[in-house]
Amino acid sequence: MTLINELDGAKVIKQTKNDATQKLSVMFFEEKKGVTIEVAITGLAIAQYEDEEETGLYLFMCDKDWAVQDDHKVETVEEAIAWAEKNFDITEEDWL
């Protein structure tokens, strides 16, 4: 398993494993021609932007390639873990 250091320009603090066989969630995107694309969320990461424009922590929801598909802004790592446990089938032991 590969540990990641950065996502979307933010420093990764914690992450789950990113197992393509485990779907935590599914996101649907509608393209211009009316085609709907389904993207499986298979990994989560808690990351922090360090520049002046973007402050705070984010829970990133990622696909199998660690491409960020969505995020949720939080104030603390503990809040991110609690939100992830509530919204995805993971536990605190799943975090690396």
Q: Is residue 17 a contact partner of residue 94, using CB atoms and an 8 Å limit?
A: yes
In DSSP terms, 70 is beta-bridged to 61
Task: Locate the domains of the chain by residue range.
Answer: 6-94
pTM recorded for the entire structure: 0.83
> Which three-class secondary structure state does DSSP give residue 28?
strand
Question: What pLDDT digit, counting tens, does each position of 28-37 carry?
Answer: 777 777 788 8
Question: What pLDDT digit, counting tens, does each position of 56-89 carry?
Answer: 799 999 999 999 999 999 999 999 999 999 998 8
In the chain, DSSP assigns E strands to 6-7, 10-15, 25-30, 36-41, 43-48, 57-62, 68-74
